[in-house]
Structure 1
Amino acid sequence: MPEIPSTPSDGNVKVLLVPEIADTSAPTVAELTGEGVIDISCYLTGDGLNLTSDQAAITDERLCTTQVFEKPGRKTNTAEVTYIDNTNSAYETDSNEAAETLVEGSNHHIVTRRGVSYETEIESAQKVSVWPVQAGMQRDVPAEANSVTRTMQKLFVTGNVRQKVAVASAA
Structure 2
Amino acid sequence: MADIPGDGKLRVDWVPAIANINAPTLSELNAGIRISQWMTADGFVGFRPETADVSTSGIESTFDTNVNGRRSFSGTMLRFRKQSGSDVVYTTMTPDATGFVVERRSLAAPTAYASGQPVKVFPVMCGETAWIDPEPNTSERFEVPLKMTDQPALRAVVA
Range into which the TM-score falls when normalised by the shorter chain: over 0.9
* 8 Å contact kept, 1:128–1:167: yes
Q: Distance in 1 between matches of 2:90 and 2:59?
A: 56
Identity %: 27
Post-superposition shift, 1:130? Answer: 0.4
Q: Which residue is equivalent to 2:16?
A: 19
5+ residue gaps, structure 2, are: none
Paired residue type of 1:72? N
Q: Which of 20, 36, 41 in structure 1 is aligned with 2:36? A: 41
* 8 Å contact kept, 1:18–1:111: yes
Structure with bigger strand share is 1
TM-score, normalised via structure 2 length: 0.94
Q: Distance in 2 between matches of 1:16 and 1:61?
A: 43
Q: Which residue is equivalent to 1:31?
A: 28
Shift >3 Å, 4+ stretches? none
Q: Are 2:142 and 1:151 equivalent residues in the alignment?
A: yes
TM-score, normalised via structure 1 length: 0.87
Paired residue type of 1:32? L
5+ residue gaps, structure 1, are: none
Paired residue type of 1:105? D
RMSD: 1.2
Q: Which residue is equivalent to 2:91?
A: 100
Number of equivalenced pairs: 157
Q: C-alpha deviations, 1:27-60, integer Å up to 9, x for none?
A: 11111012xx111011110000111210100011
**Which residues of 2 match residues 92-131 of structure 1 at below 5 A?**
92-93=85-86, 96-131=87-122
